[in-house]
Amino acid sequence: MSKLALISRGIIKENPVFVLLLGMCPTLGTTTSAINGMGMGIATTFVLIMSNVAISSISGMIPNKVRIPSYIVVIASFVTILQLIMQAYTPGLYETLGLFIPLIVVNCIVLGRAEAFASKNGVIDSAVDGVGIGIGFTLSLTVLGAVRELLGSASIFGMKLINSDGMLVFVLAPGAFIALGYLLVIFNKLKSRTS
């Protein structure tokens, strides 16, 4: 499979949010704004790429009995590195995302890609798969965050568009479910037309 096909597969055919419906906890919990969604997506992409590369490199040395715990240790190492980087360079975003950053360790997207792809493929393909899935996840969270921010506070990326408050429900938890539901319908309609 070509590298471009691997990337586009993660964005469209195997989009973690709109197709596979994985990682719903950070998807619904962090997307109160577009910048939060983008920040969570980029953080998860970093962990995806790095853990895919590491797991692909060492998969032949890991005994079958301790495969999953070993993957979790590798992923947790990269999440710790990510936390330290975010605390140093983006403390505001780190505080906003809060508990969702350490929860990347058990995110089913990251662990699923380690098990399903990285452990069975080469380093380069695993890195490219991480990029594709990461871009798909980041775009999904950013779009969901932008819709919720636009409808909930009449702003986008923190910039006020109109001098109005918007609909409060979209800033709250029920708004995440409503916005995600409509975006799922739109994404799947568009996907079925291009297939």
| Domain residue spans of the chain | 3-188
Q: Please tell me the predicted confidence (pLDDT) of residue 18.
A: 93
Predicted pLDDT of residue 192: 83
Residues in the chain where the model's pLDDT stays below 50 = none
pLDDT of amino acid 36? 95
pTM, two decimals, is 0.93
Q: Residue 12's pLDDT is what?
A: 87
What residue type is assigned to position 7 of the chain?
A: I
Chain segment 127-165, per-residue pLDDT in tens = 999 999 999 999 999 999 999 999 999 999 988 888 888
